[in-house]
Amino acid sequence: MSKYRDVNEMEFIYGQESLTVIQWILRAIVAFFFLLFSAKIMGQRSISQLRLLDFVIALIIGNIMAHPLSDERLGLAGSMTTMTVLIMLYIMCIFLILKWPLFRNFLDHQPYPLIKNSQILYNNLAKARISLAVLLTELRKQQIPDIQHVALAIWEPDGNISFFLKPQYQSVTKLDMQIPSNPFSFPRTVIKEGKLDFNELNEMGKDEVWLKGKLKETYKGELNHILLATIDQTEKLNIFLYK
């Protein structure tokens, strides 16, 4: 009887009249990791830039996986097979977008201006299917107080708007003022949540002994009390404690 029950528990992937609690849990776990694996295959682009193709595939996949997780009569195997085919089609479409300009232009429109020389191109607003109120909202998000400051605003294929200010309204840089500047250097994280980041130390050519010596110069507490510690190009250590 116990052996027969164990076999039944493993049939959660197929459609049944009813599922036990364990079978529902197993179905959810398998679906979760299958979706993670699918997202990994499709790549970061489908997450960070939801374009037309990405939107369609996300909508279909979400709909396919939702039903077996709420209806025990639907099998999980069929949904996973369908998703696998869709992912293969998605990858094929991405390849065609990269290799075939006509297909790329069909799916991803070419960028076109919404503002040129401080003049709003209303016909292009209609093509982008956005209202004047939305355009003004995007201007405020970019902290642009006046359309007269804008030399060019472009509607991008991913739905974002790129703004370019007229030269007289752009921020003055050190290059404009001919002021010497140091090379760019990003602070390195050497301690995070009380733990040393040995990868960063190795890239810097430093070791644990060196870092602990730097810590003693400015910090007398315990290592596990440090939330974050960064070090800049001058080897200045900045420490942020748990609060």
Give domain limits for the chain. Answer: 2-103, 112-169, 188-241
Q: Coil, strand, or helix at residue 20?
A: coil
Q: How far apart are CA 214 and CA 209, in angstroms?
A: 9
Q: pLDDT tens, 108-152? A: 777 889 999 999 999 999 888 888 999 999 999 999 999 999 999
Q: Three-state SS across 65-131?
A: HHCCCCCCCCCHHHHHHHHHHHHHHHHHHHHHHHHCHHHHHHHCCCCEEEEECCEECHHHHHHHCCC
How many residues are present in the chain?
243
Judge whether residue 1 has pLDDT over 70. Answer: no
Judge whether residue 27 has pLDDT over 60. Answer: yes
Q: Which residue has the higher pLDDT, 135 or 82?
A: 135
Judge whether residue 78 has pLDDT over 50. Answer: yes
What average pLDDT does this structure show over 6-25? 62
| Same-fold call for 112-169 versus 188-241 | yes
CATH 3.30.240.20 fits 112-169, yes or no: yes
pLDDT at 17: 63
List b or e across 194-231, with b for residues whose CB sees 16 or more CB atoms inside 10 angstroms: eebeeebbeeeebeeeebeebbeeeeeeeeeebeebbb
Judge whether residue 44 has pLDDT over 60. Answer: no
- Enumerate the H helices of the chain as residue ranges: 2-9, 21-42, 45-48, 52-66, 76-99, 101-107, 122-128, 132-141, 198-204, 208-218
Which range scores top for mean pLDDT: 1-15, 87-101, 197-211? Answer: 197-211
The per-residue pLDDT of the chain, averaged, comes to 80
pLDDT confidence band for 229 (50 / 70 / 90) = very high
pLDDT at 8: 52
What average pLDDT does this structure show over 207-211? 90
Q: How far apart are CA 129 and CA 159, in angstroms?
A: 10
What average pLDDT does this structure show over 80-88? 80
Judge whether residue 91 has pLDDT over 90. Answer: no
pLDDT at 51: 63
The pair of structure tokens assigned to 175 is 């290059």
Q: How far apart are CA 9 and CA 21, in angstroms?
A: 10
pLDDT at 157: 77
Which range scores top for mean pLDDT: 27-36, 140-149, 218-227? Answer: 140-149
Judge whether residue 153 has pLDDT over 90. Answer: yes
The pair of structure tokens assigned to 82 is 């369908």
Q: Quick one: which of 188, 213, 215 has its CA closest to 202? A: 188
Q: Which residue has the higher pLDDT, 41 or 154?
A: 154
Dihedral over Cα of 222, 224, 228, 229: its sign = positive
Taking a C-beta distance cutoff of 8 angstroms, is the pair 61, 38 a contact?
yes
What average pLDDT does this structure show over 28-44? 69
Contacts of 135 (CB under 8 A, 6+ apart): 114, 115, 120, 125, 153, 161
Q: pLDDT tens, 158-205? A: 778 999 999 999 888 888 888 888 787 788 999 999 899 999 999 888
The pair of structure tokens assigned to 34 is 């299958």
What class does CATH assign to 188-241? alpha beta
Number of C-beta neighbours around residue 147 at 10 A: 14
The pair of structure tokens assigned to 190 is 């050497």
